[in-house]
Chains A and B, each alone.
Chain A
């Protein structure tokens, strides 16, 4: 069991730099190669996701869903760029609503995950 975990961890360690390299590549000569490199990143990230998530304890599936919820609120980055730039007002408004929605997910997602995780106690911690 432990060795399997170690192997998967190792795979993660190998794959993460691959993603890093893919992310930090030279500016693409044209758009289509860039699109392909994005697909690469997407594919590798999905594999890492599948590898990491399958090992999550079933006990924690509800907190897992709240935390991935907060993580997918990374859409906050896109909303920030849209809201922040000097674009026409209707774009700013759309961006601000998106920013509000993502920010809500980040705040409530991480807070409720932590709140739930605090409740998972073992017998030992209960005695002490």
Chain B
């Protein structure tokens, strides 16, 4: 009887999860989505507690209490730190799946090896490989994003890297197959598989650089979901399978969007070591970019009708979004139409820029996607590039030798005038010179993004 009640509760939870994601389609309904998600989760947890045989309440209470103690501060991180928080929680998800798989295997091994059917073993092996590789991989990704000192930020590459990585995974899978064939006799292989999966997770992320983080985070999101699905297969629990599949497909779609936005394939992101493609073009003549004074720039902005701001990761680093908000307010008051052009891979995770600008209370109607703003670019009077580089590099359109060739970009060069805010003329992440900065109608404003925008705001107020 209780089991039936629990199953029905799980059905309700599944439906609510679907609605929760459905409501994320629009910012107006999105908070309802959170409510549906919380309700679904509460239904799932409470009904599971109804199941007969649950006795260790002290353990459950302590674990849940610690979950709250760690979870609440993690939800209060500054929004610039959201990518690393997300990576960290993927790693927690992977860890949970890996541990449950491990516990289930040893439980069945010791208390009834007849339960270790081939199907269950396949699910267990999938669960621990996915779980532990997500755990270590995401942990390392979080470390890289947090810029922890002893973790190299730059992609690390060595000879035969891809060969070693794929070989390692292949070995883990082969050992897994052996274990599926004879789960009792090859027991000693189980920890070895865990170790190989964890090692593979680390080696997978080591060659990944900052610009590829949005794709990799999405991919790890997908893995975390799939490891929950595998757990569902192990525990014979359909709620786990459905919720995990929702997460898995979400990660998959986000990674596809990210890959498309960079015109690269999955394999290229994972095995290409983007940051290393720095074959500097031979014979780049020393050109000088034009600069503009803050006063001059402010005057031009005041005269403009249409202004587009292109934010990039540099804006997040400099925490410039509040100053941008001041600039937006001033210009809007002067009757200037200000829009923000958001490239899908700007920042370190999908949608990163939107959240930062929303935090600064910029109305979300002003945030425009790349594909929607590009046709209007020739009518735009001034484009302000704030801490973005590769996503506005015209070389992606024209230079076949460039590593970013073919990547869709925001057509900042087509606007009537362009201000680029940059610390120095150092090339961006991909190590590629940006033609935009040498264009006739581009003017550089050197300095920290926050300071520069602050000075522009001050000048505009003086006018």
Contacts and interface: CB of A to CB of B under 8 A. Distances in A.
A97 B66 CA distance: 10
Interface in B105-133: 106-107, 110, 117, 119
B386 interface: no
Given A100-B67, A101-B96, A105-B89, A57 B24 contact: yes
A59 B363 CA distance: 11
B365 A123 contact: yes
Contacts, number: 398
A85 B100 CA distance: 13
Interface of chain A, helix or strand or loop or mixed?
Answer: helix
A56 B218 CA distance: 15
B162 interface: no
Interface in A34-66: 34-35, 38, 41-42, 45-46, 48-50, 52-66
A10 interface: no
B238 interface: yes
Nearest to B107: A91
Contacts of A108: 70-72, 74-75, 85, 89
A119 B355 contact: yes
A102 to B, nearest CB: 5
A42 B44 CA distance: 18
Contacts of A59: 27, 351, 354, 358, 364, 367
Nearest to B53: A85
B24 to A, nearest CB: 5
A82 B249 contact: no
Interface string A67-85: 1111111111111111111
A31 B248 CA distance: 25
B146 to A, nearest CB: 16
Interface of B: 7-8, 10-11, 14-15, 17-18, 20-22, 24-27, 30-31, 33-34, 37-38, 40-41, 44-45, 48-49, 51, 53-57, 59-60, 62-64, 66-68, 70-72, 74-77, 79, 82, 85-86, 89-90, 92-93, 95-97, 99-100, 102-104, 106-107, 110, 117, 119, 217-218, 221, 224-225, 227-229, 231-254, 257, 342, 344, 349-352, 354-355, 358-359, 361, 363-365, 367, 369
18 contacts: A20-B14, A22-B238, A23-B7, A42-B242, A58-B344, A58-B351, A61-B349, A61-B351, A62-B355, A64-B21, A71-B247, A79-B63, A80-B60, A86-B56, A99-B64, A106-B41, A111-B72, A116-B358
Given A45-B241, A49-B245, A60-B351, 15 more contacts: A24-B7, A42-B245, A53-B254, A58-B354, A61-B254, A72-B224, A72-B225, A73-B96, A74-B239, A75-B100, A77-B235, A78-B232, A100-B64, A106-B71, A111-B71
